[in-house]
A and B are shown apart, each in its own frame.
Chain A
Amino acid sequence: MATTLETITQVLTETFPIDAADITPERTFEDLGLDSLALLEMGLAVQESTGITLNDTELPKTVGQLVTLLDTARGDTVLAATDNTA
């Protein structure tokens, strides 16, 4: 299974003119050339790819923050699923 960073890298390189080599956890999306509208568009692309909805008002600033956010959301989903089966 792809890591979260790999998933994000795929979404970013498929949607935007960004090279995979430039995508590291510490890079900000602004550094990668995404303005505020592009960032919203990125949120939609991530949602389409992962099924996880990002809150428009709390979009992360760096790639690493996005990884954490998605991992947390996935963890919550897993926990919720576990709760349901418990």
Chain B
Amino acid sequence: MTRVAITGLGIVSPAGLDTESTWQTLLQGRSTAQRDEQLAGLPVDISCQVPEFDARRLIGASAWRLDRFTAMGILAAREALADARLDPRTWEPLRVGVVIGSGTASMERYDREFAKLADDRPLDISPLAIPRSVPNMSAAEIGLDTGARGPNFTVSTACASGATAIGTARDLLRAGTCDIVLAGGAESVRHPIPAACFHRMGALSQRTEDPARASRPFDSSRDGFVLSEGAAVLVLERSEHARARGRQPRAHLAGYAATCDAHHYAAPHPQGRGAAEALTAALADAALEPADIGHINAHGTATRLNDLAEARALNTVFATPPPVTSIKGAIGHAIGAAGAIEAAVTVLTLQYGLIPPTANHEDTALDIDLDIVAKAPRTTRAGAAVSTSYGFGGQNAALVFTSR
């Protein structure tokens, strides 16, 4: 069977504009949540924001036609390619795919264009309204930017999109369709509609008076997630292909599985049934036993329902679940990008032997029987770790990474 190497990483997050700065901020266990001017006047007006994201300076000539989520995806893809030492001038372009997860695409664009309609100016609608904003552009623009001409598409499984993209990319490598796939997620949902909607659903933390303490994954006092944004791209490569060009992988993607709760359109199955099934299937796919897994990078949104269902799923699959962290305490919930950022961080944990702490985690909820890494990074000798992502609609994805 084709082995899949991770040869490059790129991250754009509220914790930093690249992988290294994101990793260092996460190790500090510090939350990045703050007041958000774009959400002013809403009951919940806080978010985690990518700092100083000036697309014109960071991306260059194409920036004028890129909406924010697409531009972040391009920046992450460029970093991942550089990290993998891949040169688009020498690769076989038709053997390079791009699969990106996006949950909502670009709501900011529709805002501007709807305003023109409301003002009875339909002829002023931008001819680029659709090419800028639709979900497939997060993948298409990366193809355009890098010259990757193989299969190119966006997947959408809400909050699991980034993980689903990575798993789907793995399938393209296993099927022999591609040698390399740039896979990840890109999202920017700092917009009043999702902010108001998630608030009405009861999914957002209401600790607006103290943003930095708002997102508290697995804590007894958790009350919801904090909206976020960002992108991450992983270079997935057939192991032999990486070896042939002398690249040492950061880690391997050994297993992947996806399931659906088929239980409720928004709430997770209360016992985490689909989540447990995804975990079990991903372990089987990797030919590993639960005891082989040394760390879980959890979905850990900090909503009452998710964290409890997730804990139950982990306790169903693992006799004693290994140490768990959720980086959403630090960088909030970037919806379609979250799974990709967390996958990249799981790779870093395996590589550096460090589990970043769950920011704001003080007191594990009584009904959550997990070993949550908090306060400080914990060293680990884990050779295998899992990153899990669960989306509204009950769409679940589990990725198993191994260091060798």
Mark A residues whose CB is within 8 Å of B.
Answer: 15-17, 33, 37-38, 40-41, 44, 47, 56
Asked if residues A15 and B124 are in contact (CB atoms below 8 Å), the reply is no
Taking the closest CB of chain A, its distance from the CB of B59, in whole angstroms, is 10
Asked if residues B126 and A38 are in contact (CB atoms below 8 Å), the reply is no
The docked-state distance in angstroms from the alpha carbon of A45 to that of B131 is 18
Q: List 7 A-B contacts (CB under 8 A).
A: A15-B64, A16-B64, A17-B60, A17-B64, A41-B126, A41-B127, A41-B128
Asked if residues A37 and B127 are in contact (CB atoms below 8 Å), the reply is yes
Question: Which residues of the partner chain A approach B127 to less than 8 Å between Cβ atoms?
Answer: 37, 40-41
Q: Annotate B46-62 by CB proximity to A: 1 below 8 A, 0 otherwise.
A: 00000000001000111
Nearest A-chain residue to B60, judged by Cβ:
A17
* 9 more A-B residue pairs beyond the given contacts A38-B65, A41-B127, with a C-beta to C-beta distance below 8 A: A15-B64, A16-B64, A17-B61, A17-B62, A17-B64, A37-B131, A40-B127, A41-B128, A56-B123
- B260 contacts A by Cβ under 8 Å: no
- B267 contacts A by Cβ under 8 Å: no
Asked if residues B124 and A17 are in contact (CB atoms below 8 Å), the reply is no
Main secondary structure of the interface of B (DSSP, over half): helix
Main secondary structure of the interface of A (DSSP, over half): helix
Would you list the 8 A-B pairs with minimal beta carbon distance, nearest first? A17-B61, A40-B127, A37-B127, A16-B64, A41-B128, A37-B128, A17-B64, A44-B124
Nearest A-chain residue to B116, judged by Cβ:
A44
Question: Which residues of the partner chain A approach B373 to less than 8 Å between Cβ atoms?
Answer: none
The docked-state distance in angstroms from the alpha carbon of A27 to that of B173 is 47
Taking the closest CB of chain B, its distance from the CB of A85, in whole angstroms, is 28
Question: Which residues of the partner chain A approach B61 to less than 8 Å between Cβ atoms?
Answer: 17, 33
Number of interface residues of B (CB under 8 A): 13
Mark B residues whose CB is within 8 Å of A.
Answer: 56, 60-65, 123-124, 126-128, 131
Nearest B-chain residue to A48, judged by Cβ:
B124
Question: Which residues of the partner chain A approach B56 to less than 8 Å between Cβ atoms?
Answer: 17
The docked-state distance in angstroms from the alpha carbon of A15 to that of B63 is 10
Q: Out of A33, A38, A47, which one reaches B124, CB within 8 Å?
A: A47
Nearest B-chain residue to A40, judged by Cβ:
B127
Question: Which residues of the partner chain B approach A15 to less than 8 Å between Cβ atoms?
Answer: 64
Taking the closest CB of chain A, its distance from the CB of B137, in whole angstroms, is 14
Of residues A17, A38, A56, which shows the largest number of chain B Cβ atoms within 10 Å of its Cβ? Answer: A17
The docked-state distance in angstroms from the alpha carbon of A44 to that of B61 is 20
Question: Which residues of the partner chain A approach B63 to less than 8 Å between Cβ atoms?
Answer: 17
The docked-state distance in angstroms from the alpha carbon of A57 to that of B127 is 14
Taking the closest CB of chain A, its distance from the CB of B54, in whole angstroms, is 13
Question: Which residues of the partner chain A approach B126 to less than 8 Å between Cβ atoms?
Answer: 40-41, 44
Taking the closest CB of chain B, its distance from the CB of A37, in whole angstroms, is 5
Question: Which residues of the partner chain A approach B123 to less than 8 Å between Cβ atoms?
Answer: 56
Taking the closest CB of chain B, its distance from the CB of A46, in whole angstroms, is 12
Taking the closest CB of chain A, its distance from the CB of B129, in whole angstroms, is 10
Of residues A16, A38, A44, which shows the largest number of chain B Cβ atoms within 10 Å of its Cβ? Answer: A44
The docked-state distance in angstroms from the alpha carbon of A41 to that of B126 is 6
Question: Which residues of the partner chain B approach A33 to less than 8 Å between Cβ atoms?
Answer: 61
Question: Which residues of the partner chain B approach A40 to less than 8 Å between Cβ atoms?
Answer: 126-127
Taking the closest CB of chain A, its distance from the CB of B3, in whole angstroms, is 41
The docked-state distance in angstroms from the alpha carbon of A47 to that of B355 is 53
The docked-state distance in angstroms from the alpha carbon of A37 to that of B132 is 12
Nearest B-chain residue to A37, judged by Cβ:
B127
The docked-state distance in angstroms from the alpha carbon of A37 to that of B130 is 12
The docked-state distance in angstroms from the alpha carbon of A73 to that of B349 is 63
Question: Which residues of the partner chain A approach B60 to less than 8 Å between Cβ atoms?
Answer: 17
Nearest B-chain residue to A56, judged by Cβ:
B123
